[in-house]
Amino acid sequence: MADSASDSGLQAERTVLAWRRTQVALLLVACLAWRGEMWEVAGMAALLALLGRARERGVYRRGLGMLHREQGHAAVCSVLLCALGVAGLVLSVWLRRSL
C-alpha cells in the first residue's frame, strides 16, 4: 500500500474523474432521451449532470483536504443524490414504457 506522501493528490483527482465520467454518461442519456422524444427523462438527466458539474470543484478540494489531514469520510449526500436521480430516471422511463 502506497503512503500518502507518494500519492500527492492523485486520489482526489481520480475521484473527480469518476464523477466526470458519471456526468458524461448522464449527458449521453439526456441526448438519447431527447432523440427519443422523452423530454422529462432528458431534462432530469441533464439537470443531474449539471448539478454534478457544479459540485465538482468542492469535491476535489474536500478530497485534497482529507488527504492532507489523513482522515476523511465519504460524500454520502452526493452519492445518495446521484443514486436517487438515476433511480428517478429509471422509474420515469419504466412508467413511460408501461403507459
Closest to 33 in 3D by CA, of 79, 90, 87, 78: 90
Give the tens place of pLDDT for each residue, 88-99: 989 988 988 887
Residue 74 has pLDDT above 80, yes or no: no
In angstroms, rounded to a whole number, what is the distance separating the alpha carbons of residues 56 and 15?
10
pLDDT reported for residue 3: 54
* Cα 66 from chain centre: 19
> pTM for the whole thing?
0.73
